[in-house]
Amino acid sequence: MEDEEEKVKKAALQIIGQFQDLPRLVVFDLDYTLWPFYCECYYEDDTPYLYPHAVGILEALKEKGIEMAIASRSPTSQIAKAFLTQLGINSMFVAQEIFSSWTNKTEHFQRIHRRTGLPFSSMLFFDDEDRNIEATSKFGVTSILVGNGVNLGALRQGLSEFSHKSDSSSRSMKN
């Protein structure tokens, strides 16, 4: 298992290395983005697990000095937080906004913005729900819809779209 995580981390580092403009913060949803289940359907004594590429991607972002955060509308924040701790990744995130909400993550992102002081335009977000992608995109967040959890393909797509957006905005500033 360790070998697979290391391979994914190396591949993720290669992907990250292909882009000059990198996000300052990468935000992840939890359910069906980092792990393949709804945590409210689990119990704290269950053994949580991540999608196969998730750990390698988190490790690569950490190694590159890119901060990470969580934005989750989970109604069971205590279980979600317990899972993050059990998985040994709790300390990787500079902000964890995990609470039930009807606002399509807008409140989550406002809190993350206040906590980190980072502009929305410097954030990259991964989520499995269209409505959250649409809502956060309106803030200027580069938002990527994942179909089968976060993986190397989603990371490449996210960094590519982020970089393209950065190029466009820097070109428009020069004109």
Q: Which residues are catalytic?
A: 29, 31
The three-class DSSP label of residue 58 is: helix
One-letter identity of residue 22: L
Q: Which residue has the tokens 């290391």?
A: 6
Q: How many DSSP H helices and E strands does the chain contain? A: 6, 5
Give the CA distances from residue 32 to residues 29, 83, 94, 169, in Å, rounded to whole numbers and listed in that order: 8, 14, 21, 31
> How far apart are alpha carbons 97 and 71 in whole angstroms?
5
Dist. CA 30–CA 40, nearest whole Å? 11
State CA 48 to chain mean position distance: 18
